[in-house]
Amino acid sequence: MSAAETPVSRRREDRGPRRRIPGAVAMAAALLIAAVVAWQIVAVAQASRLAQSAPDVALAWRPDHPRALGYLAEREFTDAATSGRSPEAARGLARRALNAGPLEVRALRVLAWVADEEGDDKRARRLMTLAASRSQRDVSSHLWMFRDRLQARDFDAAFAHGDALMRHAGTLREAAVLMASAAGADETAARALARRLQSGPPWRGAFVRELAASQDPDVTLSILLAVKEAGSSIRAEESSAVAGRLFREGRPGEAYLAWVLLLPPAGYDVLGNIYNGGFDGPAGAGPFAWTLSRNLATIAQAPGRKGLALSARPAGGGQSLARQTLVLAPGPYRLSLDARLDGLNEGGMDWTVSCVGGRLGGLARLTATKSDDWTRLSTGLTVPADCEVQRIELRSGGRSGASVWGWFDNVQIEAVVTEG
């Protein structure tokens, strides 16, 4: 019988039994692969955890970890600069970091520092621009670019980097001071900062508060005036921050002038010796606008007439319901207002004008009593020369209670013209 004719079963027997991989070997291979993967996971996790605090140890876990290499390059550059060594080692580490992770911002920044130290300004600026563009949170690169663009008088670009710094809570105060100092020293810079603020960045409120607290109020005022000139409305809390700082420094006249300059256009329509005495204009904020007692006074639709009015409903006697700080020149005046009180017991409500600050004491009291309809009330007062700051205030009467509900409108203080 030829080989071709030999049965298949016979040929299989001649070759011997077929070899099979034992199940234990397959399982061992799988376990080995799993162990390698697990080790890689552990190594990456450990390297990531130690990258900032101990980058050299992190590299022992994973020699090509880009963040660890970036931090190590940064540390090496600082040490070299302190000791006067060549930055070549830092450059080598930074290049390794970029090879391992092309998006490693610290490595780009270190290479920019090296180029800057070697006098290659263009390369330094190109690398630092790239670093800043890759991370809005990289403080060092944005700070470097801010100062670089400021020196070049490219103020719009400088404040774009300042924008990035202001969005980082840890550098908000430093960035605010840097931007304020630049704007305070150069009118062109102030206009550029005004354009940035006009765009409504989320840090605008914090910036103005920090500015008003840490800088000369005149600097803050000039920046906000530039913002207003650029076409943006000044928020009530912003003007209040400037006016409040000047007021606390014992400069009430300047505080009032700053507050007036920052009013919105509609605010000038209701500006007088008393601001918004008809309660139909912008509410405003700060000492020179109405301050209402929470839950006891509000501005609402006036009953029986068009427009808004002050509504006050005290819960007890002697409560302060509404007040406003005034800066009246010495001389005679007349206080007048419209009042309507419902459900009155015997106490009534009192409007008072008094001196604050230097000379203390009352200048006028005008009591509103029960009235079924609106009634015009008035009284005279004289502001003495030693009374630079005054306050008008609405208070509940000594025996007033929750049954009292008062409405007030057209509150005015007008100078009395005397003959002779």
Whether residue 321 is found in the same domain as residue 256: no
Report helix, strand or coil for 311. Answer: strand
Task: Rank 62-76, 127-141, 162-176, 250-264 by mean pLDDT and report only the highest.
Answer: 250-264
Whether residue 202 is found in the same domain as residue 318: no
What is the 8-class DSSP label of residue 328? P
Is residue 287 a contact partner of residue 256, using CB atoms and an 8 Å limit?
A: no
pLDDT digits (tens, 9 = 90+) for 353-373: 999 976 677 899 999 888 888
Average pLDDT taken over every residue of the chain: 83
- Per-residue pLDDT, averaged over 136-159, amounts to 90
Q: Could you tell me the residue range of the domain that residue 122 belongs to?
A: 47-268
Would you say residue 75 lies in a domain? yes
Q: Can you read off the two tokens belonging to residue 279? A: 């309660």
Window from 34-43, 62-71, 230-239 with minimum mean pLDDT: 34-43
**First-residue to last-residue Cα distance in the chain:** 152
Would you say residue 264 lies in a domain? yes
The strand order across the sheet containing 308-312 reads 297-301, 308-312, 405-415, 331-342, 375-383
Q: Can you read off the two tokens belonging to residue 367? A: 């009591």
Q: What is the CA radius of gyration of the chain?
A: 37
pLDDT digits (tens, 9 = 90+) for 377-387: 999 999 999 99
Whether residue 184 is found in the same domain as residue 55: yes
Query: Which CATH number characterizes residue 107's domain?
Result: 1.25.40
Whether residue 336 is found in the same domain as residue 259: no
Q: Give the residue from 267, 266, 241 showing the smallest Cα distance to 255.
A: 241
- Per-residue pLDDT, averaged over 180-207, amounts to 87
Would you say residue 273 lies in a domain? no
Whether residue 94 is found in the same domain as residue 219: yes
Would you say residue 97 lies in a domain? yes
Query: In which band, very low, low, confident or very high, does the pLDDT at 191 lie, cut at 50, 70 and 90?
Result: confident
pTM, two decimals, is 0.70
**Domain count along the chain:** 2
Whether residue 139 is found in the same domain as residue 173: yes
Choice between 21 and 112, residue whose per-residue pLDDT is larger? 112
Whether residue 332 is found in the same domain as residue 387: yes
| b/e sequence 235-271, b meaning 16+ C-beta within 10 Å | bbebbbbbbbbbbeeeebebbbebbeebbbeebeebb
322 DSSP β-pair partners = 292, 394
Would you say residue 332 lies in a domain? yes
Query: Which CATH number characterizes residue 335's domain?
Result: 2.60.120.260
Whether residue 411 is found in the same domain as residue 262: no
Whether residue 221 is found in the same domain as residue 346: no
Would you say residue 280 lies in a domain? no
Whether residue 241 is found in the same domain as residue 153: yes
Question: Tell me, what amino acid is at 410?
Answer: N
What is the 8-class DSSP label of residue 302? P
Q: Can you read off the two tokens belonging to residue 232? A: 């943006």
- Per-residue pLDDT, averaged over 264-277, amounts to 94
Whether residue 153 is found in the same domain as residue 116: yes
Choice between 226 and 48, residue whose per-residue pLDDT is larger? 226
pLDDT digits (tens, 9 = 90+) for 310-346: 999 887 777 899 999 999 999 999 999 999 988 656 5
The pLDDT value recorded for residue 135 is 83
Neighbour count for residue 222 (Cβ, 10 Å): 17
Whether residue 261 is found in the same domain as residue 382: no
Would you say residue 151 lies in a domain? yes
Question: How far is Cα 158 from Cα 167, in angstroms, rounded to an integer?
Answer: 15
- Phi, psi (rounded to 5 degrees) for 236: -60, -40
The pLDDT value recorded for residue 178 is 86
Q: Can you read off the two tokens belonging to residue 258? A: 């700053």
**Which is it for strands 349-356 and 361-368: parallel, antiparallel or unpaired?**
antiparallel
pLDDT digits (tens, 9 = 90+) for 98-114: 888 888 888 898 898 89
Query: In which band, very low, low, confident or very high, does the pLDDT at 17 lie, cut at 50, 70 and 90?
Result: low
Would you say residue 172 lies in a domain? yes
Q: Give the residue from 224, 200, 196, 230 showing the smallest Cα distance to 212.
A: 224
